[in-house]
Every structure is written in structure tokens, then in C-alpha cells.
Structure 1
Amino acid sequence: MDLHLATILIIAANVLVSLKGFSDDLFFERYKFGIGAIQAGQKERMVTSGFLHVDITHLFFNMFTLYFFADVVINWFGPSKFVIIYFISLIAGSLLALFFHKQEPYYSAVGASGAVTGILYAAILLQPNMQLGLMFIPIPVPAYILGIGYLLYSIYGMKSRLGNIGHTAHFGGAIGGYATTLLFKPDLIFSDTLMVILLALPILILFVLAKAGKI
């Protein structure tokens, strides 16, 4: 697969910033997502944290996922709108994390997962029937089933505080990718109504649970 320059630049930025963070604890601590620091005025952390990673494995999996789905979005929208979706998803992930964890000043997170999940969800919305192969499932799975399942798992992760993973940022990123894709291509609402509704269901479930105080 030939990577577009826009994808290469985003991957390069993630690699360079992450490598700096691996070797410089002060840099990592200064630019990671931290509720207390953001509430104190360091709003730039909502963007910079999306380029830091915990370790090489964390970085690799995020960039590997981006590698697979970036071209779908670029082929539909072009590189400029791809970059817009990426950054809106990144910020949406940070905003949702800020909203859900605003009473937890020591909550912190890093990673491109929110932005990458936004690109993943945009790609699924654009091509819901593309077949995805998963390591632990021997047959290809339609993309929309993976997308819905992933967000339902993220709700479970948010509810049970599963692992040291920013499930909230993943979910916020998906909302950002979903909303921006529909903004750029509103005719999907009419041409693929069922898929638009299906992919919105986990988002609706999240906010119903939040309103009910279940998360």
C-alpha cells in the first residue's frame, strides 16, 4: 500500500514526539493529558498528549491501525479533510475524557488512540461492508460490526475502568470521526440511513448511561 504524504507526516510526528517522550520524562510529564494541569490552563495538552505514547508497542498499534484505514478516508475526501477529521477526533477524544473525568485531577492519558479511532470510524461509515480480518477470528468480519463492537467494548471499559487504557478518548474520537464524516458527506444520512443509525447506537447508549449515572 502506498502511503499518502499526509499519513506519512502524521506517523512521523507521532514517532518523533513519542521517541522524545520515551527518553525525556520531563517532556512526557509536561505534555501528557492531565486533568489538573488542563483545568489550570494548560489546554495545549489536549492536543500534545495525542502524539505521546507509553511505549513502542502502544505507538506501533496506533500507527498500524492508522496505516490500514487512512487511505480509505483520503480516497473519499482527500488529504486536507483527512487531516481535519484526524485532529477533530483527537480533540473530541480529549474533550470527552475531560468531561467524564473532570472530578479526577490526577487522571492522565497519552496516545493517538482517539484520533486513530476517529479515522477508523470515518472509514467504517464510508465503507461499512469492507471485510476486516482479525487475528483471533478465522473469517472476515464486516467493518460496521467491528466498529459497533469496539465502541460497546469501550463503554464496558469506561464503566469497569478496564486496564490502563483511555477508553473515553477512544469513544470521543469515534464521535468526532462520525460527526465530521457526516458533516463532509451528509448524503450518507439518506443513502445509507440504516448504517448511520446503527453506528450511532453505541454513542446514544453511552450518553443514556451517563445521564443515568451508570458511568
Structure 2
Amino acid sequence: MGNLDPITIAIIAANVLVSLKGFKDYGFLDKYKFHVGGVQRGEQIRMISSGFLHVDMQHLLFNMITLFFFAGIVIDYLGNGGFVFVYLGSLLLGNLLSLYFHKNEYHYSAVGASGAVTGVLYSAILLRPEMQIIVFVIPMPAYVFGIGYLLYSIYGMKKRIGNIGHDAHFGGAIGGYLITLVLATWIFERNLLMVGLLAIPIVLLFVLKRTGNI
């Protein structure tokens, strides 16, 4: 964890530059943020551009620090191309899930790389489920953290906790999960149990949505 590869530097730099522009220019932020009405009008660029904008420096730093810690694992296993595929695919799927859940909320908007970063995190967990993640000074297996995080995201979506795009986080995790399994099919042979365990919250979300409980 924590290797700063050139592709990671490039993505962090893109996030910093675009976010700094958005901090200073609200018109720019408004034009490229995720916005349900804008996307429904055909402004599809928002589905990607919003992932490089952030509301403030704290939001930006949190996402980039998380990316820094877990990007190297994904690159080590999937290569630069695979990492970019996971990052952008998770970003897009995160926004698609947000669009699905908020399609009737014309004014709903969001920004941030959280969907993409969560996809990278979930990919890293799938690739290295035995690694330890420290949460509030408490170490725990990565797969336990991953399952717990998505269960909390479901709760956050249901209760609308905070000004947080829980659905984008969840969609990003789905993207990281699916893309990683496509690119690293050996996981089915080596860690089939983890594949199943990490799928539990994903299946639960769609069961809850299907039954009208979220």
C-alpha cells in the first residue's frame, strides 16, 4: 500500500487541478457536476467530469489519500490499464447508481471521486482480502471492513445520513468488484469464499430496492 505510481500521480493531479478550478469558479463547478436534470437533458459529460470535482479541500484530500493507499495494490495485480479501467468504470457506475436512485429528483446534484476511489478500495480488498485495514486505531481484515462499509452505505442510503452520496460509493464498489472479477478470473479459484462474502451487501441492496424497502 502507498506506492505512488505515475498513473496514480496523473489521476491525483487531474483531481487536484479540476477541483481547484471548481473551488474558484462556481460556473465551472455547476456546469460539470453530477446533476440529474443536466444528465437527463443529454449532458452526459457530467457522468465523468463530476468525479474530478470536490466541494472543498478536505473532501479532496480524503479521497486522494485513500486512493494513494490502495491504488498500488490494484496496479500490482491488474497493471496500469486495469487500474484505469477500475477507476473510471467505478466512477461511471457510481454515478449510474445515483441516477437510478435519484432519477425523479431533478435538482439532485453531487461531486467527488468517492465512487471511483471506493471502487479501487473494493478492488484492492478483493485482490488482498487478508490485508489489515485500521479503522479508528482498530485493525480488522479488509473483507470485514468492505462488507461493513457497504452495509453502512445501505443504511446511509435508507436514512439519508449526512450530505454524502452513499449510492455513488456503493455503485463504485460494485464497479470495482465486477471489473476486478472480469480482469482477474483467478480470484474465483483462489478466493471463491471471499467473492461470495463480498457480494452479500450488493445482493442485499437490490433485494431491498426490489421489495421497496430502500
Normalised TM-score (structure 1) = 0.97
Aligned to 1:73: 74
Question: In the alignment, is residue 63 of structure 1 matched against residue 64 of structure 2?
Answer: yes
Distance 1:90 1:76 in 2: 20
User: What is the SS of the residue equivalent to 1:78?
Assistant: helix
- Please say if 1:95 is aligned against 2:96: yes
TM-score by length of 2: 0.98
Q: How many residues align?
A: 213
> What is the aligned partner in structure 1 of residue 55 from structure 2?
54
Runs of 4+ in 1 over 2 A off after TM superposition: none
Question: What amino acid sits opposite 2:80 in the alignment?
Answer: P
**By how many angstroms is 1:214 displaced?**
1.1
Q: Deviations over 1:130-164 (max 9, x none)?
A: 01122x2x431110011111100100111011100
Structure 1 segment 196-207 matched on structure 2, within 5 A: 196-207=195-206
Helix, strand or coil at the partner of 1:104: coil
Please give the alpha-carbon distance, in whole angstroms, between the structure 2 residues aligned to 1:28 and 1:139. 37
Partner in structure 2 of residue 176 of structure 1: 175
RMSD, matched Cα:
0.8
Which position in structure 2 is the counterpart of 1:14? 15
Listed as ranges, the gaps of 5+ residues in structure 1 are none
Name 1:39's counterpart in structure 2: 40
Rounded Cα–Cα distance in structure 2 between residues aligned with 1:133 and 1:177? 21
* Aligned-partner Cα distance in 1 for 2:145–2:212: 27
Cross-structure match for 1:191: 190
Deviation of 1:2 after TM superposition, in Å, equals 4.0
Tell me what 2:143 maps to: 144
CA contact (8 A) 2:131 2:142 kept: yes
| Per-residue CA distance 1:67-100 (angstroms, 9 max, x = gap) | 0000000011111110111000000001100111
The one-letter code matched in structure 2 to 1:146 is F
Residues 152-171 of structure 1: matches in 2 within 5 Å?
152-171=151-170
Once the two structures are TM-superposed, the CA of residue 190 in structure 1 deviates from its matched residue by: 2.4
- For residues 103 and 121 of structure 1, the distance between their equivalents in structure 2, rounded to whole angstroms, comes to 29
Q: What is the alpha-carbon distance in structure 1 between the residues aligned to residue 62 and residue 117 of structure 2? A: 10
| Amino-acid identity (%) | 62
| Kept after mapping to 1: 8 A contact 2:3/2:68 | no
Aligned to 1:28: 29
- Output the CA distance in 1 between the equivalents of 2:106 and 2:138: 44
In structure 1, the partner of 2:124 is 123
Partner SS for 2:138: strand
Amino acid at match of 1:188: I
**Deviation of residue 125 (structure 1)?**
0.1
Distance 1:191 1:45 in 2: 38
Query: Which residue of structure 2 lines up, in the alignment, with residue 208 of structure 1?
Result: 207
**Which digits, 9 at most, give the CA deviation of each residue in 1:8-32, with x for residues without a partner?**
0000000000000000000000000
**Separation (CA, whole Å) in 2 of partners of 1:104 and 1:139:** 39
